[in-house]
Homo-oligomer: A and B are copies of this chain.
Amino acid sequence: MNIILIDPTEMTDAGTVTLLGNRLRHIRKILRSKVGDSVRVGLINGPMGHGIVRELNREQATLAVTATIAPPPKKPIDLVLALPRPIMLKRILAQATSFGVSRIFLINAKRVEKSFFNASLLEKENLEGCLRLGLEQAVDTMLPELSIHHRFRPFVEDVLPTIAAACPVRLVAHPDTDLNLHQAAPGISGERTLLAIGPEGGWIDFEIEKFQEQGLTPFTLGSRILRMDTAVPALLAQIDLLGNLPPQI
């Protein structure tokens, strides 16, 4: 927890907030703050700043909050992700959020186990908990947009075209190609990028064809099969690096 996140509805009119639970524990046990100390805080989907500890005991902490600093910019990356198993989803949502992804679309695919869509993790407040972990890690306050799409075809035919239209660079990670990222997307520099990442067993041919119809180019990290929680940060980091190479390249 590198920043203490506060929901704006938790704030009093006097500009104070009272914290219990994890955030109280963090202030007492990790930061070891005392009354008068300043801690880094941020308002969810709002500015960042600091909170002066006004009161601190075993039951609660009260902070006087000043928040005027803009959060860091999001990266111009939209992530389409075939729904992974819950334990992996939890990790990946935090990873992608800490990385600064703008939007996350969790979708169905042939090789996604249907039971994954019934996981309690998919309830709104549980998902938001995962995203908050990523924000707390990366010192950010802006939740990425997140949506769940239970059927592949309606997503790819009705929703994806609008997303794709906003993204000049469109990529789908797919082991069955020889192109690396640079070959699939030469000369990108900071354009908004759409990245689709498949389930553990990969996309099926039909799915790849549907993505290609929307202008997504398949590329691969290489022949090694990586776990989702290794592949996702690896893919995001490569897109980020390539998008920031000098323009003459």
- Using a CB–CB cutoff of 8 Å, the interface residues on chain A facing chain B are 2, 72, 91, 94-95, 98-100, 137-140, 180-182, 221-227, 229-231, 233-238, 240-242, 244-246, 249
Contacts and interface: CB of A to CB of B under 8 A. Distances in A.
Main secondary structure, interface of A, reads helix
A99 B182 CA distance: 18
A241 B235 CA distance: 10
24 contacts: A72-B224, A91-B229, A94-B227, A95-B227, A98-B226, A98-B230, A99-B226, A99-B234, A100-B224, A138-B224, A139-B225, A180-B244, A181-B241, A182-B241, A182-B245, A221-B240, A233-B233, A233-B237, A234-B234, A234-B236, A234-B237, A235-B237, A238-B241, A245-B249
A141 to B, nearest CB: 13
| Count of identical protomers in the assembly | 2
Nearest to A235: B237
Given A182-B245, A234-B234, A137 B240 contact: no
A233 B94 CA distance: 15
